Amino acid sequence: MPSSAADPLPTPGLWQALRQRRYLRSAWPWRATLYLLTSVPLGLATLTALLLLAVAGSALSVLLIGIPLLLTLVLAGIPVAAVERRRLRLLDPRPLAPAHRDPDGTGLSSWLRTRLRERATWRELGYALLFALVLWPLEALAVGTALVICGGLIAAPVMLAANGGEEARVLKIWLIHSPPPAVAALLAGLVLLPLFAYPLGALAAGRAELTRQLLRAPEAGLDSRIRELGRSRMRLVDAFEAERRRIERDLHDGAQQRLVALSMTLGLARLESPAEPLAGLLAKAHKEAGVALAEIRELIRGIHPQVLTDRGLAAAVEDIADRSVIPVDVEFALPDRLPQAVETAVYFAVCEALANVAKHSGAERARVSGRTEKGRLVVEVYDDGAGGADTGGGTGLQGVADRVSVLDGRLLLSSPPGGPTVFRLQVPMSPAETRT
């Protein structure tokens, strides 16, 4: 049975390689040694940076200049953890996802509030301190011991020759006076070199697993259930959208066609009827049929617009902008058609945003822009209104946030009093079920 990524199992790649006979002939010993060696400069750099930030921040905190330095010290674990996650790929094929969530708003202050409230930030700071004070000196000691012993033995003939063949001190322990002991030391070094590969590999594997346990997201133990929840939510979204399209199709092909036929029949009856009272009733019935037809067409457009199905998101947003009561500029730069669930969610989100602009903002102009950014669709609705919008203000924005969250998307809102308001959607362009 395959284990989930959340199971506390050892690093699969290196541990499996250590149990194989061809371990010494593979690249794993070199990768393990490289992993341990790269800890030394990174650990030194981390220790130096933490000491400088702590000393300078404490000394200058009286003048308030040191407060940003102390804040940087608190956040120093974030870049260290990012580097460690990348370095972990030398030994562990399983990706280690970042433990941080996206900020609730835009701007530096929102980012700082989110990071300082997360447990992951403090865990990463603790890891940085452990790395700087404990881990890298131990790794340097282990690798240095192996290299000094093997290197000293292998270099015995060279040292003897450099001293004119008279004597040489091997590993600062014993003296050799002739070539046979020097050759024996060389052979011993060559034998010990592969033997040291196993304890160094085990040390590197344990170090990698420690890094994974300390830097993984706190929710990692629920990965399998979270993935299943994401898949079930996607299935519900697909079923909901299929039902919407069925209702739209039934209204379009059934009730709308019958109303069109009724309106045409009433129009012909008006032409055929000479009686004034009957003609008035027919005219009224014809007018009511026209109103009902207009309403059902608007209802069909609200359920699922045909332009979205036929021409995609950009054309559908332009159609919304054309029908808006305030001028709306549309700027979209999309490479191709997006997944249907993404297009539908973003379309109705933009509808809600423009409806709020028209009803509540008092804006004179709005702008809708869309682009792709690092595998995500980013759509922004900007208006020059009075601001003050809030997802909890009963304007339907919370429903938009819930809808895009099903697709692993985010709604970011910046609306200070006095404006302007920026409504930003970030939705992955690949369906969540495919990614999981």
Q: What is the DSSP letter of 216?
A: S
Tell me, yes or no, whether 2 lies in a domain.
Answer: no
Same domain, residue pair 57 and 202: yes
pLDDT band, very low/low/confident/very high, at 433 (cuts 50, 70, 90) = very low
- pLDDT of 199 reads 87
Residue 95 vs residue 10, higher pLDDT: 95
Answer yes or no: do 284 and 346 share one domain: no
Among residues 303, 337, 354, the one where a domain terminates is 303
Query: Of 303, 329, 346, at which residue does a domain stop?
Result: 303
Are 122 and 202 contained in the same domain? yes
Q: In what order do the strands lie in the sheet with 328-332?
A: 328-332, 366-373, 376-383, 421-428, 410-414
Inter-CA distances, 19 with 22, 88, 344, Å:
9, 20, 51
Q: Among 303, 335, 354, give the residue marking a domain's end.
A: 303
Render pLDDT for 239-279 as a digit per residue (tens, 0 to 9).
Answer: 556 655 656 565 555 555 666 666 666 666 656 655 566 66
| Whether pLDDT at 384 is above 70 | yes
pLDDT for position 215: 87
How many other CB atoms are found less than 10 A from the CB of residue 327?
A: 11
CB distance 313 to 427 below 8 Å: no
Question: Looking at the 3D structure of the chain, how many domains does it have?
Answer: 3
Its domain, for residue 245, covers: 225-303
59 and 207, same domain (yes or no): yes
Q: Are residues 295 and 311 in the same domain?
A: no
130 within a domain of the structure (yes/no): yes
Same-domain check for residues 212 and 69: yes
Q: What is the pLDDT of residues 52-63, one digit of tens each?
A: 999 988 888 777
Looking at the structure, tell me whether residues 137 and 283 fall in a common domain.
no
Q: What is the pLDDT of residue 125?
A: 92
pLDDT of residue 255: 59
- Classify 409 as helix, strand or coil: coil
